[in-house]
Amino acid sequence: MKKEKKQFLALFLAFCMAFSLIFENPFVVEAATKIVTKYMEIALSAEEVSKDLYLQDVFTLNQDVPYVGFFTSETDYSYYYGTSNDLVNWNITSEYFSLVYGNQTFVGISSDKNYQNHLNYTTDGRTWEVATLPVGISPLSVKFENGYFKLYCKDDEGIKYLYLSQDAKTWFDITKEVPDGTNIENIIIKDGALYSLTGTNISGSGFRVHAAKTVNEGKTQWDPLEKLNKEGYGMLGNFMFDGKTVGVQLYSIAEYEKDEYVSNTLYYVTSDFVNWVEKDWTQDDYDYYSIYDATSTAKSRKTKPEGKRFEAIEIYPYRDGDQMYYVSYVVYSEDGKTWKKDAINIFVNGEKISKDPKEKNAFAIPASYEWARKGVEYSIGRNYVYTWDLENNLPESISRGDYLILIMKALNVQAPKTEVSGFVPFSDIYSWWEDGQLINRAKMLGLVNGKSDHQFDPDGRISRQDMMVMTYNILRKSGMVEADTNLTALQVFSDKDQVSGYGKEAVSSLIKAGIIAGSGNKIDPLGNLSYAEAMVIAERLNVYRTRE
């Protein structure tokens, strides 16, 4: 099942890859103290800010700064920090090239006009503090990873350093403390522990993993995890880590010594750091771990006890001649029952820089599929579906996996609050893949069964009948729709006898609920479901969405 990339992130990812090639990876570092001083941010001017900003994420903090937004653009490599009192009108206050959120704190790295980098953080959303690092040390990137901020720095000679902090106030330099032979870019954090993924040179004994439980002013103590060692195998440079699961690519040292090249590689993943499972995780379009990606494993806070309640961002692309620009919409409620969607206004130092859409429609949808526009704008605008070639994609049959992922996102189906004992995920779904986790979540909750106990067949086409059974099972088991056990709603369709016995109640119930309309007097139960039809259904399911 292909996982297409968001086009508006392509430039940023390309920049990260190029940027990561600039610096070397030595491991020399000096201990340093950290001095914190408060400062007022210098106001940006409208001329300094890209005009094609779009809203990427929304956080809620406190009564003084009720809403915080992350903004980015397609024409530069910066993140912008903004605040709002009403979710609709936003004031951009800061520019960062690396910005993350975690532990109720925002941490960002900015660059001044002299190309000097500065590390800043705020806990209240308004007052920022600047971290003064040792002379000659410059911050490069920051991540938030399972309870810790990870700060990568370099000195004047390009030597890299790794600092860790839980509160962004006190930082610990662990560069000299990593196990011998470990690249500091291969330090990851999971479940309150640090793990080092240590490769090997050609004379080494093999790939190995160490763990450290504490980070403090004393020396960090690393312990080897013998079960995760792979004697006789070295680790290739790239690995993947999504905050939960790590995957490594290994090669045979003996083969390399004999042939001076590697023809075969092994792929191993682990999610519990107890056992490795051999699995080829490279077959899907999954990003390699990069220290330059400003990622966070923390969930942003989405609600506010008093005031407007944020639900989602929808981003629509418009054109002004040959130029593309984006308009961000926020979906919110003032009473928790009625939901509104408004285009946001972006201001810099009092001057509005955001564009109002000139065209009525953002997406160029073929005239024969205009009936699907509402669903298309909803699904693509919220990034539930990643596709831009609408002329070819809308009539295409959607796969079982893509449809389930779409409606799981539309319904915002939550993971079980307690661990499901004895759960066995689908063997044909990558458990580390974020969208794949939605499929296994559906199985964990008893919402889908798959083609067999352990096979879901994500790439198989889905008939309209099976789509309705899948959708009905999710809605019914969640208590969202009533069962039409008498099959009353189904009787008006001329092809009702084509519906299989196992699907009759599901089909009739969704018709009665207004989720399925049919075409004329036919329901076409055996026909494949198209992307256009799937997106229309997803938009109709929004009224059943779980809202925390």
Q: Where are the domains of the chain?
A: 3-39, 53-82+307-362, 83-278, 367-544
Q: Mapped to the 3 state alphabet, what secondary structure does 305-365 carry? A: CCCCEEEEEEEEEEEECCEEEEEEEEEEECCCCCEEEEECEEEECCEECCCCCCCCCCCCC
Check residue 263 and give its pLDDT.
Answer: 76
pLDDT computed for residue 38 by the predictor: 42
The tokens for 79 are 């993140």
pLDDT one digit per residue (tens) for the chain, 548 residues: 433 333 333 333 333 333 333 233 322 222 232 333 344 455 577 888 888 889 999 988 777 788 899 998 877 778 899 999 889 999 998 888 899 999 989 999 988 777 889 999 998 888 889 887 788 899 999 999 999 999 999 999 999 999 999 999 889 999 999 988 889 999 999 988 999 998 765 445 678 888 998 777 667 888 888 777 777 888 887 888 988 888 888 888 888 888 877 777 888 888 888 888 887 766 655 678 999 999 999 887 766 656 778 889 999 988 877 778 889 999 988 877 788 899 999 999 889 999 888 777 888 888 999 999 999 999 999 999 887 678 888 999 999 999 999 999 999 998 888 878 888 888 888 766 778 889 999 999 988 988 887 899 999 999 999 999 999 999 998 888 999 999 999 999 999 999 999 999 999 999 999 999 888 899 999 999 999 999 999 999 998 988 76
pTM metric for this prediction = 0.74
83-278 domain in CATH 2.130.10.120?
yes
**Residue 445 CB neighbour total at 10 angstroms:** 17
Q: Which residues contact 376 (CB under 8 A, 6 or more apart)?
A: 363, 365, 369, 390, 394, 532, 535
User: Cα separation of 348 and 325, whole Å?
Assistant: 18
Positive or negative: CA dihedral 276, 292, 10, 298: positive
Looking up tokens 């984006």 gives: 326
403/418 Cα distance (integer angstroms)? 26
Residue 375's SS3 state is helix
Taking the CA atoms of residue 130, residue 136, residue 141 and residue 142 in that order, the dihedral angle to the nearest 10 degrees is: -50
CA atoms within 13 A on the CB side of 58: 28
Cα 456 from chain centroid (whole Å): 23
